[in-house]
Amino acid sequence: METMQVREDQIKQLENLRKTKLIIYVTGDRPGWETQIHQEVHSLFARHLESISKGKKLKRLSLFLYTRGGSTLAAWSLVSLMRQYCEELEIIVPSKAHSAGTLMCLGSNLIVMNKRSTLGAIDPSVNTPLNPTIPNMPGQTIPVSVEAINGYIELVKKEIGISDQHALSEVVKVLSEKIHPLVLGEVYRARTQIKMLAGKLLELHAPNGDKEKIISFLCSDSGSHDYTINLKDARDMGLNVEEADDKNAKLINAMLDSISDELDLDNPFDPGKLLEEQDQTDYCCKRALIQSLEGKKHLFITDGTLSLINDNGNVRLQNTAKYDGWRYYEQNN
């Protein structure tokens, strides 16, 4: 059976099982072709939601979400958009909903998790042209973690024990020499913004919960942006979580496996394998997905050509991208 037909059958089954309408959003983390939550999908989501709702507010809407993160403002915007179309929003986490994905979960009424599911810290990283550059990599900059800067200041004050204002001023001066002052200002703004957005979203998710405790853990107390939060951790933190029963979990896992196969999430992009014995070959990489029954499927695609170039005996690989953007698919594909 074609990929799209299999997925549509899975969506129908999950919608019937959970008495909901479903939209899938996957930002792929295939090594070499990673994608992120981005504001550009806002209009695509709106199209799917209009098709799903048919002018009426849905009793329940479910977002099947797989992501390693992205823009916090895009995450906020998508949650705000979806909630206009439904009375109740649940987010199904089949595996990873990290960083901005976790922020989206805070705006749901319910988070559905299973044994595979993980959330993550929401402390953002700032990456601007003014960021420190990566040595020997012209034009490449190092993302600056909001909590890393805060952790450095706390290390100096609490662990090293520097409290003299003049000495602290010198520490800040040295930091400013390594990281542009405007980047440090952006770090502070991002930290303030993420806490504000998390607080607003938690009013929807857990209005009577300990919001300060949840935000503190997600922003700093977890200790690392790579720290993963499983179902038990999420419950202990005070999030409103449902553990998928066997029937739900089996269907959720099957849908994730189907998507993983389609986007080739488990296999790094390998130009050599694509070329094999050829000097040139075309490729098409599916990197992100938005899908619903009524709105059909949008895929973020990169099309290109790989070529082996012989430059005076020096053979090099050339990757020429021909298309990089979203495509709409109505038929099986």
pLDDT in tens, 236-248: 999 999 999 999 9
Say if residue 184's pLDDT is above 60. yes
Higher pLDDT, 278 or 110: 110
In a domain, 283, yes or no: no
Question: pLDDT of 252-289, one tens digit each?
Answer: 999 999 999 999 999 888 877 777 777 888 888 999 99
In a domain, 180, yes or no: yes
In a domain, 309, yes or no: no
HEC assignment per residue over the chain:
CCHHHHHHHHHHHHHHHHCCEEEEEEECCCCCCCCCECHHHHHHHHHHHHHHHCCCCEEEEEEEEEECCECHHHHHHHHHHHHCCEEEEEEEECCEECCHHHHHHCCCCEEEECCCCEEECCCCEECCCCCCECCCCCCCECCEEHHHHHHHHHHHHHHCCCCCHHHHHHHHHHHHHHCCHHHHHHHHHHHHHHHHHHHHHHHHHCCCCCHHHHHHHHHHHCCCCCCEECHHHHHHHCCCEEECCHHHHHHHHHHHHHHHHHHCCCCCCCHHHHHCCCCEEEEEEEEEEEEECCCEEEEEEEEEEEEEEEECCEEEEEEEEEEEEEEEECCCC
Note whether 104 and 152 are same-domain residues.
no
The dihedrals phi and psi of 46, each to the nearest 5 degrees, come to -60, -40
Note whether 81 and 37 are same-domain residues.
yes
* pLDDT, mean of residues 199-207: 92
Note whether 116 and 143 are same-domain residues.
no
Note whether 7 and 135 are same-domain residues.
no
In the chain, how many domains are there?
A: 2
Domain boundary among 169, 187, 205: 187
66 neighbors 304 (Cβ within 8 angstroms)? no
In a domain, 312, yes or no: no
Say if residue 142's pLDDT is above 80. no
Say if residue 138's pLDDT is above 90. no
In a domain, 281, yes or no: no
Note whether 72 and 47 are same-domain residues.
yes
The pLDDT value recorded for residue 1 is 47
Q: What is the pTM of this model?
A: 0.86
In a domain, 94, yes or no: yes
Question: pLDDT of 27-75, one tens digit each?
Answer: 999 988 889 999 999 999 999 999 999 999 999 999 999 999 888 899 9
Domain boundary among 168, 187, 206: 187
Question: pLDDT of 69-102, one tens digit each?
Answer: 888 899 999 999 999 999 999 999 999 999 999 9
Structural domain including 68 reads: 3-121+222-266+288-297+325-329
Note whether 108 and 51 are same-domain residues.
yes
Note whether 107 and 11 are same-domain residues.
yes
Question: pLDDT of 322-331, one tens digit each?
Answer: 999 999 998 6
In a domain, 33, yes or no: yes
Note whether 105 and 240 are same-domain residues.
yes
Say if residue 9's pLDDT is above 90. yes
Local confidence band at 192 (pLDDT 50, 70, 90 cut-offs): confident
Note whether 228 and 165 are same-domain residues.
no
The pLDDT value recorded for residue 225 is 59
Q: Which amino acid is at 34?
A: E
Average pLDDT of every residue of the chain: 86
Structure tokens at 5: 């037909």
